[in-house]
């Protein structure tokens, strides 16, 4: 049995108290649902001496309607899936949240934890003894990357389901520390580095996610995973498109998940789609550009070249769904559920 290491635990009721404790502790991390962090601690991948629990902070659990639709970082994935506005207006986010893990994990797991989810790699997601036996890697305790021994940086994969969906919807996030508060586009929170995958500053807590008005926007999220019941994505396509009254594309945002150390914003696809209608040829062209942007490496399920090839098929399904095609049976085949 893998046991947790010893740690101090704080359970503040106010955000102000949480950021003060975080600022004052040398080796501290925040914990929300704990569904990612606690297994990592058991495997000694993350070993904070202090944990600051966010579950008692009611201010982080609110959903608010206003000029932006605001979701507290402590809102659970189950609450997201049960929210009617998210289901109807931010469909891509709803589809992403509904495919994270299992119902039990979604009851505990939060949106903030999903956004800040640790990157994944077959050589890293193992217990301490396994990693010690082959020698540790640079993400924790070692110096080499076993995926690419010549690489100077860790190539672990961004595996969050909600981040690509949120990025395609144009989400912003608010980060609060003891000294300051800042808001940035979610896409700018990430960077292409498997160890330092977040540009979160020391002492910052992600408090809110802001989604712009969804009028006229159609969105979708498609994910491929090995197990149909539950699994992390091995590739994912999120797309949000605004059409004019003639079904020409006014604005398009496509983001890819699980094919790099950060969610990839497909700028070339977005430019390519501007002003066009979603004909079969246009969809084929956009899907090919998506596959070109993906950079899968050999550290997760399935061979990288196969993931890249299949990505264009998944992107095709996503765009066909946004065009209004009936994709329910294809969905059922891939996601094992109607979404
Ligand atoms: C069997 C299994 C299957 C899973 N499948 C999937 C899957 O298919 N897709 C998927 O995306 N995830 C999956 N997960 C991972 C996890 O369950 C979810 O990502 C979940 O949403 C994480 O949220 P949490 O609140 O539990 O995060 P936690 O474990 O509490 O935290 C995760 C990380 O985020 C940081 N953090 C949390 N909240 C904040 C905040 N407000 N501000 C700053 N940092 C914060 C923590 O310090 C930690 O580093 C799976 C996990 C398991 C065990
Ligand atoms: S990509 Fe390389 S450095 Fe990163 S976790 Fe995997 S083996 Fe370790």
Give the pLDDT confidence score for residue 146 in this predicted structure: 95
Say if residue 337's pLDDT is above 90. Answer: no
Query: Is-contact 274 252, C-beta < 8 A?
Result: yes
What global pTM score does this model have?
0.97
Confidence of residue 65 (pLDDT cuts 50, 70, 90): confident
Ligand 2: centre distance to CA 140 (Å) = 9
Query: Is-contact 86 52, C-beta < 8 A?
Result: no
Average pLDDT over residues 125-148: 96
Q: Determine how β-strand 172-176 pairs with β-strand 181-185.
A: antiparallel
Q: What angle do CA 63, 221, 198 make, to 5 degrees?
A: 65
- Distance (Å) of CA 297 to CA 48, 262, 301, 305: 29, 13, 10, 9
| pLDDT tens digit sequence for 85-97 | 999 999 999 999 9
| pLDDT tens digit sequence for 228-260 | 889 999 999 999 999 999 999 999 999 999 999
Query: Is-contact 166 209, C-beta < 8 A?
Result: yes
> What does DSSP assign to residue 209?
E
Candidate of 124, 125, 143, 157 to mutate for ligand 2, largest count of ligand atoms within 8 Å of Cβ = 124
Confidence of residue 136 (pLDDT cuts 50, 70, 90): very high
Say if residue 205's pLDDT is above 90. Answer: yes
Give the pLDDT confidence score for residue 295 in this predicted structure: 87
Give the atom of ligand 1 at the shortest distance from the alpha carbon of 175: 42
Ligand 1: centre distance to CA 292 (Å) = 29
> What does DSSP assign to residue 171?
-
Give the atom of ligand 1 at the shortest distance from the alpha carbon of 29: 47
- Distance (Å) of CA 275 to CA 241, 278, 316: 11, 10, 18
Query: Is-contact 219 165, C-beta < 8 A?
Result: yes
Candidate of 27, 97, 106, 116 to mutate for ligand 1, largest count of ligand atoms within 8 Å of Cβ = 116
Query: Is-contact 66 214, C-beta < 8 A?
Result: no
Give percent above pLDDT 90 in the chain.
91
Give residues (CB < 6 A) around ligand 2: 121, 123-124, 137-139, 145-147, 154-156, 194, 299
CB burial class (10 A; 0-12, 13-18, 19+) of residue 260? buried
Average pLDDT over residues 136-140: 97
Q: For residues 201 and 176, give the distance between their C-alpha atoms in angstroms, rounded to a whole number.
A: 10
State the chain's maximal CA–CA distance in angstroms.
61
Question: Which domains can be identified in the chain, with CATH numbers?
Answer: 58-116+157-211 (3.30.465.10), 219-335 (3.30.390.50)
Candidate of 9, 109, 199, 227 to mutate for ligand 1, largest count of ligand atoms within 8 Å of Cβ = 109
Give the atom of ligand 2 at the shortest distance from the alpha carbon of 121: 6
Confidence of residue 271 (pLDDT cuts 50, 70, 90): very high
Any residues with CB less than 8 A from the CB of 126 and at least 6 apart, and which?
A: 43
| pLDDT tens digit sequence for 281-325 | 999 999 999 999 998 989 998 999 999 999 999 999 999 999 999
Q: For residues 102 and 320, give the distance between their C-alpha atoms in angstroms, rounded to a whole number.
A: 27
Ligand 2: centre distance to CA 43 (Å) = 15
Give the pLDDT confidence score for residue 36 in this predicted structure: 98
> What does DSSP assign to residue 64?
E
């Amino acid at each position: 049995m893998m046991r947790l290491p010893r740690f101090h635990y704080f359970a503040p009721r106010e955000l102000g108290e949480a950021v003060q404790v975080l600022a004052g502790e040398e080796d501290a991390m925040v914990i929300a649902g704990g569904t990612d962090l606690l297994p990592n601690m058991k495997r000694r991948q993350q070993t904070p001496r202090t944990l600051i629990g966010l579950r008692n902070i009611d201010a982080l659990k609110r959903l608010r309607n206003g000029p932006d639709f605001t979701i507290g970082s402590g809102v659970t994935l189950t609450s997201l899936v049960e929210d009617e506005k998210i289901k109807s207006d931010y469909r891509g986010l709803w589809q992403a949240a509904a495919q994270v893990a299992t119902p039990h994990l979604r009851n505990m797991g939060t949106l903030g934890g999903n956004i800040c989810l640790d990157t994944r790699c077959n050589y890293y997601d193992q217990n301490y003894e396994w990693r010690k036996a082959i020698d540790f890697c640079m993400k924790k305790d070692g110096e080499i990357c076993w995926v690419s021994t010549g690489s100077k940086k860790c190539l672990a994969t961004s595996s969050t389901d909600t981040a690509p969906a949120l990025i395609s919807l144009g989400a912003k996030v608010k980060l609060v520390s003891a000294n300051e508060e800042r808001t940035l586009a979610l896409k700018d929170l990430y960077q292409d580095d498997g160890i330092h995958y977040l540009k979160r500053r020391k002492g910052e807590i992600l408090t809110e996610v802001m989604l712009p008005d969804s009028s006229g926007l159609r969105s979708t999220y498609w994910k491929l995973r090995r197990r149909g019941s539950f699994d992390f994505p091995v590739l994912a396509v999120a797309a949000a498109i605004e059409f004019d009254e003639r079904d020409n594309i006014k604005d398009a945002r496509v983001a890819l998940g699980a094919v790099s150390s950060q969610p990839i914003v497909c700028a070339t696809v977005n430019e390519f789609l501007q002003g066009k209608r979603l004909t079969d040829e246009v969809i084929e062209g956009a899907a090919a550009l998506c596959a070109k942007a993906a950079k899968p490496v050999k550290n997760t399920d399935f061979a990288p070249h196969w993931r890249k090839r299949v990505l264009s098929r998944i992107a095709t399904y996503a765009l066909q769904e946004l065009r209004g095609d009936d994709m329910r049976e294809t969905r059922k085949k891939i996601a094992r559920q109607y979404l």
